[in-house]
Amino acid sequence: MLKIKLLLFISLFSITLFGQENLNKYKYILVPNQFEFQKNAGDYDLNRLTKFLFKKYGFNALLSDETYPEDLAINRCLGLTAQLRKQSSLFKSKIKVELVNCYNEVVFTSIEASSKEKDYKKAYHEATRKSFQSFNGLNYNYQPNEVKNQVVQEQVTVEKVEEKPKEIEDVVVKNDKIDKKNNHLKVTEINDETFIDEALESILLYAQPIENGFQLIDKTPKKVYVIKETSMKDVFIVKDKNGILYKQNNEWVLELYHDNQLVKIKMNIKF
């Protein structure tokens, strides 16, 4: 009996360490306004309860319709999306918590807790609170990983230039291929033909649906980018480019980091 208890303790201790190691890499928890089993956003006041419980255990949690901090808006992979999974039987309501990263991978799963309450709100609240017992002892503490959490592209030379009172502000590109009449291109000074060619090809792209996102092709047709959906509307992760694509003022904007300098390109995409 003692051996069984010892083995259980070791197993639980290992799971706790594993969960802590993974969760400490993430700065934010995003709580959807509507879980899959809810008919309407905010049903049973369950979403706000979930946010409250994450904050109780030391996480920086926010609802998906709240204004995102600047670093999260730039790098969606700083956050995990929380999901409540429900299973119900004739006499019980069962809930467990899953945390999903920006690549749609589940990195943490809580215990599955249950309630025998007949009232749905009471049952969901009780089961959710019980499931959060999995976060006891994790001692969550965000530990930034500068290499992974910084959006980095291939090495380029970036220089600051004086602002010019033209339609293309703070833009000086040392390459004869750049058409300065093109108002869609907005980058800092870059001496890298490969990246410049990519930026030029990206000005007019066509979106073709693929699993969990789109591939963006030019007129050739040539695949230029693959973008993956996120939990946010009109915000995509650019696969293998460590960047994001989002809609701002009815325009698509691609953001990448180059040597700690933010590069923005206005895109013309047809979906």
Q: What is the pLDDT of residues 55-95, one digit of tens each?
A: 999 999 999 889 999 899 888 889 999 999 998 777 899 99
Q: What is the DSSP letter of 269?
A: E
pLDDT of residue 258: 64
The 8 Å CB, 24+ separation contacts for 179-188 are 183/266, 184/265, 184/266, 184/267, 184/268, 185/265, 185/266, 186/264, 186/265, 186/266, 187/263, 187/264, 187/265, 188/158, 188/159, 188/160, 188/161, 188/258, 188/261, 188/263
- In this prediction, residues 179-189 reach a mean pLDDT of 39
Using pLDDT thresholds of 50, 70 and 90, give the confidence band for residue 2: very low
CA dist 15 and 93 (Å) reads 25
Least confident of 3-12, 65-74, 247-256: 3-12
With H, G, I as helix, E, B as strand and everything else as coil, classify residue 39. coil
Chain position carrying tokens 């695949």: 223
